[in-house]
């Protein structure tokens, strides 16, 4: 996976095999891969390229010795070509191996800083690797513990920062769930109380009993009646409910 590859590269970087740079802007560069005379001959034989090659040589004398930074927009302005035409010219010159052209990039770069090592001499800092793994595992476990605990999130966080006298926030998911449970229990108690009160007054058929309860939805009322029946707190003869 991408993530695994990046991690592996970071470890290689730690051990000094490569250098990684994230999203650095690198300007376009070019270098002639043939000598002066070959370039000159090419210019004479390919008039279309004469202007652009002259312009490159005029502003980048060192292009025979190594890579020089170029600016396509600047070359376009000086030659009267468009930016796109300059890029396509340079690509063509590269394809016929007159020069090497590397277009500007802001992509991450990977650079090998050591000669190629065969697997037998390939050393990885195992201790460092294991330490990193241990630290990461601890961090992941801490996050999992935080997410799966049913202690107020705010209290957990403040505990993490050594503040031990924190109080429940009342707004996190744990606090809200707790409040919901308390409300439910309270509601059920109120419905039960109503049912008992109504039936103490007189036996009722199910419909009348349900209609006369003031708290809860119809389903909650019927559930409460069934629970009281199961618990033996109210009775029924199949028609009417009574105590």
Instruction: Give the nearer residue to Zn ion in terms of CB position, either 34 or 169.
Output: 169
Note whether 100 and 30 are within 8 A (CB): yes
**DSSP tag of 113:** -
Nearest to 86 by CA among 117, 60, 133, 51: 51
Instruction: Give the nearer residue to Zn ion in terms of CB position, either 172 or 196.
Output: 172
Instruction: Give the nearer residue to Zn ion in terms of CB position, either 102 or 169.
Output: 169
CB of 141 to Zn ion, least distance (A): 21
Instruction: Give the nearer residue to Zn ion in terms of CB position, either 173 or 208.
Output: 173
Binding site for Zn ion (CB under 5 A): 152, 154, 169, 172, 175
CB of 215 to Zn ion, least distance (A): 27
Instruction: Give the nearer residue to Zn ion in terms of CB position, either 137 or 145.
Output: 145
Q: How many CB atoms lie within 10 A of CB 38?
A: 13
Q: At what angle do helices 126-148 and 2-14 cross, to 10 degrees?
A: 140
Q: Is the dihedral of CA 217, 219, 223, 229 positive or negative?
A: positive
Q: DSSP per residue over 86-107, as a string?
A: HHHHHHHHHHTTSEEEE--B-S
Q: Percentage helix, strand, coil, to 5, in the chain?
A: 60, 10, 30
The vertex-19 CA angle with 15 and 23, nearest 5°, equals 140
Question: Could you give the CA distance from residue 88 to residue 237 in angstroms, rounded to a whole number?
Answer: 95
Note whether 205 and 240 are within 8 A (CB): yes
Instruction: Give the nearer residue to Zn ion in terms of CB position, either 59 or 159.
Output: 159
In the block, residue with structure tokens 């009160």: 197
Question: Could you give the CA distance from residue 17 to residue 123 in angstroms, rounded to a whole number?
Answer: 10
């Amino acid at each position: 996976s991408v993530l695994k590859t990046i991690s592996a590269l970071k470890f290689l970087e730690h051990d000094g095999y490569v250098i990684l740079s994230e999203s650095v802007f690198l300007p376009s560069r070019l270098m002639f891969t043939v000598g002066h005379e070959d370039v000159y001959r090419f210019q004479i034989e390919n008039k279309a390229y004469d202007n652009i090659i002259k312009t490159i040589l005029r502003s980048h004398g060192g292009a025979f010795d190594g890579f020089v930074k170029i600016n396509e927009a600047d070359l376009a302005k000086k030659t009267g070509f468009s930016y796109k035409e300059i890029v396509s010219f340079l690509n063509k010159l590269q394809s016929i191996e007159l020069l090497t052209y590397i277009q500007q990039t802001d992509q991450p770069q990977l650079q090998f800083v050591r000669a190629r090592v065969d697997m037998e001499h390939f050393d990885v800092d195992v201790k460092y690797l294991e330490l990193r793994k241990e630290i990461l595992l601890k961090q992941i476990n801490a996050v999992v513990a935080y997410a799966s605990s049913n202690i107020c999130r705010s209290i957990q966080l403040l505990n993490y920062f050594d503040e031990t006298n924190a109080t429940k926030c009342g707004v996190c998911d744990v606090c809200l769930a707790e409040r919901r449970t308390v409300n439910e229990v309270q509601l059920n108690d109120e419905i039960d109380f109503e049912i008992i009160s109504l039936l103490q007054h007189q036996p009722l058929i199910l419909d009348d009993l349900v209609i006369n309860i003031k708290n809860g939805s119809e389903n909650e009322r019927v559930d409460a009646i069934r629970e009281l029946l199961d618990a033996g707190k109210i009775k029924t003869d199949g028609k009417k409910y009574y105590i």
